[in-house]
Structure 1
Amino acid sequence: MKKKRSLEDSERELRLDLAACYRLIAHFGWDDLIYTHITCRLMQDTSHFLINPFGMMFDEITASSLVKIDMDGNKVEYSEWPVNPAGFVIHSAIHQGREDIRCVLHAHTVATVAVSSLACGLLPLSQHAMLLFQRIGYHDYEGISVNEGERQRLQDDMGLNNVMFLRNHGVLVAGATVAEAFQTFYFLQRACEIQVRVMGCVSETVTIKPEVQMAVIEQYWQANLGKGAQLAWPGLLRKLDRIDPTWRE
């Protein structure tokens, strides 16, 4: 008979995945010093989520160092580290508004900020873009997100999408798992890099035909054996173990 996982086991698993995600973002050069955040809502205590210790570099984060907070930004367990107020506002908005979402990833890489600042937004220029193109929202810049009144507007603009560009700021990516959120961001980052390069090289672009755009998501699932992001995630964890296994601590 298969042993039922305890509450501690399920939280430990989420902590490991989230710590791995922080390390991977740092490994690929997509962090921004101590700023930006990745959060994960707990399985049982769904009003609580894990967030990075504010002041710790992404390549320093471990499973045990993640801070547990509630939807009001209060720490529910002791941690010597503070929590970034902007991180709480942005992430709590999505966690409150989307029960289907467990992980929210916020980044401001050069490529994503560049595309967020274009009136056209993300264009159908690459296969990477096609994996996201039908599920993107846009939210106008309101300054640094410390105003809790912005949460409702973030929720409204996110809607049922799993990607939202924060105009002149960066992106939010959401997923049912940490692996899904990371892979979605990976595709988005690549799509933005490709778009910035294409737009810097030519005056006229070739976009993907609408009928092809609609077919790519189903083709993606077929090509990935129906496993989606979970197919690549174990390999990424093995990569981290080869680089520095301290993320598991």
Structure 2
Amino acid sequence: MHPDELSARRQLAACYRIFALLGWTEMIYNHITLRVPDSATGGTATEGARGSPHFLINPFGLHYTEVTASNLVKVNLAGDVLDGARHPINPAGYVLHSTLHAGIEGAHCVMHTHTTAGVAVASLASGLSQSNFYSAQLHGMVATHDFEGITIHAEEGPRVLASIGDKQAVILRNHGLLSWGRTLPQAFAVLWTLQRACEIQLATQSMGAPLPVPEAIAAKCTRDSLQFDPRHGAGQDVFDALVRQIDRIDDSYKN
């Protein structure tokens, strides 16, 4: 195996374990997908079949705590399983992820969750409230897409892309949360911030009406927040710290 693919596999497998640690699991469902580096596939996506993009996804039927570098499934944009992987994938998950990978330049990693806080906020008519420290850091960064049922129909793809535009934090109405990033740590930083915003909103609304953050202040918070900026690591330091925690608990994801 090309060393760059092995590195990507270990990073993604570690991320699945981190999601499990944080409680962002949904039995055997939901997905994190990551593009295999072009250096490991033979070139760029414009160079023909050998250079077409490949992606890694969790094997369908395994809990996130069972995901390892070796059992991740490699697929192409069509969802065809490559390299004779032993496990199938969940088509309902990959349709949505492949839409973003193919349709958004730089969407090298896509994450999707059904956390209680995320689905709850996604099910509110008012959606995400600009009323806490975390949502204020996402000013102008959040897209919403209306619920169209289980995401198994490719014809929904253009509407998903139109809803998202260039926004990296996405609320799928009545469904859950999604993020994408140019790197896995960046996608994680966006999703973590969106998840925290939903958690705090849920707690606030259980006590009363949220106190809105003024537009100008929220815009300033987003400008001042450096955690998504590639020039400041784009979440790499936070992700590395969590990987070290996983390593102390169980490093079998590297296998």
TM-score (norm 2): 0.90
Q: What is the percentage of aligned positions where both structures have the same residue? A: 38
Code of the aligned partner of 1:186: W
In structure 2, what residue type is equivalent to 1:248?
A: K
Which of 226, 229, 239 lines up with 2:235 in the alignment? Answer: 229
TM superposition shift of 1:222: 8.5
Q: Distance in 1 between matches of 2:112 and 2:227?
A: 28
What per-residue deviation string (whole Å, max 9, x for no partner) do you get for residues 135-186 of structure 1? 1111111111111111111111111010111111111111111111112111
| Aligned with 1:27 (options 21, 27, 37) | 21
2:242 partner SS? helix
Q: Which residue of 2 aligns with 1:4?
A: none
RMSD over aligned CA atoms reads 1.7
Which residue does 2:188 correspond to in 1? 182
TM-score normalized with structure 1 length:
0.92
CA distance in 2, matches of 1:124, 1:133: 8
SS of corresponding position for 1:228: coil
Contact 2:17–2:64 (CA under 8 A) maintained in structure 1: yes
Q: 1:200 to 1:172 in 2, by over 3 A?
A: same
Q: Is the contact made by 1:23 and 1:59 (CA closer than 8 Å) also made in structure 2?
A: yes
Unaligned runs of 5+ in 2: 46-52
Residue 247 of structure 2, aligned match among 230, 241, 246: 241
Query: How many equivalent residue pairs?
Result: 242
From 145, 149, 154, the equivalent of 1:143 is 149
CA distance, structure 1, for counterparts of residue 234 and residue 35 of structure 2: 21
Separation in structure 2 between the aligned mates of residue 226 and residue 74 of structure 1, nearest angstrom: 36
Indicate if the aligned counterparts of 1:17 and 1:179 stay in contact, CA closer than 8 A: no
Letter aligned with residue 206 of structure 2 = G
Cross-structure match for 1:160: 166
Alignment of 1:38-57 (within 5 A): 38-44=32-38, 45=41, 46=45, 47-57=53-63
* More divergent stretch after superposition (189-198 vs 216-225): 216-225
1:94-113 equivalences under 5 Å are 94-113=100-119
Deviations 1:116-147 (A, max 9, x none): 01111111111111222311111111111111
Q: After the TM superposition, list the runs of 4 or more consecutive aligned residues in structure 1 that deviate by more than 4 angstroms.
A: 222-225
Residue 9 of structure 1 aligns with which residue? 3
| Aligned partner of 1:122 among 128, 146, 158 | 128
Structure 2 residue 186 is matched with structure 1 residue 192:
no
Match of 1:207 among 197, 209, 212: 212
Q: Residue 76 of structure 1: CA displacement?
A: 1.6
| Residue of structure 2 in register with 1:36 after alignment | 30
Letter in 2 for 1:138: T
Distance 2:149 2:233 in 1: 38
* Secondary structure, aligned partner of 1:232: helix
Tell me, in whole angstroms, the C-alpha distance in 1 between the residues paired with 2:124 and 2:228: 32
| Structure 1: runs of 5 or more not aligned | 1-6
1:93 partnered with 2:99: yes
What amino acid is aligned across from residue 105 of structure 1 in structure 2? M
Please state how far the C-alpha of 1:223 moved relative to its aligned partner.
Answer: 11
- 2:133 aligned partner, one-letter code: Q
For the Cα contact (< 8 Å) 1:122–1:133, is it kept in 2? no
Check the 8 A contact 2:228/2:235 in 1, yes or no: no
Partner Cα distance (1:226, 1:84) in 2: 35
